Chain A
């Protein structure tokens, strides 16, 4: 197989005496959707924050395209093509879609020190990118607050793709969404993957993971329990791995296998 877009090798992260990650290995190839599953407190957030440059790992090696890297800030990770879409921090609701889309990278025109945002271009590109994601905006300067949760995730994904993300990390993009919005976001993930981008999909919902995932890695109490290919593993097994097996099996019995 080719070199992975990004490789996390035996990553450790301690917060004082707490071991949040105890040696996690994970990789992502172009055009695949690699699901990272785990229950609350399993270390998913710590792991993706390490991937995206928010935290520095205590130990282990990170490689992008086979080369060892170290990110000082989220900006460094973004420059390396690692983009992260956070569940609730994706967008600023009071600002327009265009302003959100271009935040931090506003296109400008003007002369010398007098530069202003080229809103005509910005609005046009925003409109086109949104249409490509299947969202028809009424107008590009409508506030993000008027969009649904799923649409906000899609705007954030479109933004990351437009700015050249090679690896797209999605932090629980579906956990707060309804059924229809979830399927929209899952469809968006599929579209992004087909464009050759590596998608890291973090979730604790096995059904959502099964819908789009190519590979699955389960994180539990700061450890991985290995990576499985699609078709090699059944949803029930994933669920068991996430919960650490035993207790959930008992619970599931009493709930009639509905979780």
Chain B
């Protein structure tokens, strides 16, 4: 009896889940750091225009998985990625894939706000500029403005675009980083614990922003906060010790998880 109601509830709450396109798909993804294996055969589908939260205790492999999705692990010499990850059906680890293009399509926001030590304007304009997305200054100005607006930062910084990005508060810096990611019009935005360095008010703003961005972007967020995962995501994947324990609609995961470990973790019994 339960199973049926669950499905019904899930369908009702997330009408797109089953039908929506799969934007990214990980199949048997394994990652080794040198001798140490960090991920074991992870299979996870990321639906388009939804927020997918990756949760799990520290060292469970959720950030590792996230960094596989735009090949940021390439920058770590000892990291080896196995299995298969696709973006719109294309294997992103195919040697023919251009990493620069991939990272433009799959943007990333990091745990610690990391604006460039340049002006706010330059921070946002950098991506469009290197990718040649605009033809002139006016267009670039427009991209900067719309990106900052989308990141809900415009009203706070519009009068001081030439001031250094590092002079902003932590929450503003993180929204600047989001604006910087948005400026290259990515399809997917990866967020690695974007609020862990922020106070509750700044966190609320970023969460609100994530919710708005969902309309246009596919978002994958790693978080340590159960509440955050519950608040912002439509789907949740639980990692533990390098394995994907369980994944599904967020509401189900938080109310009636299949796996005992998930239940223990979200109720705060470990982790």
Bound pair (A, B) = no
Q: Which residues of A contact B (CB under 8 A)?
A: none
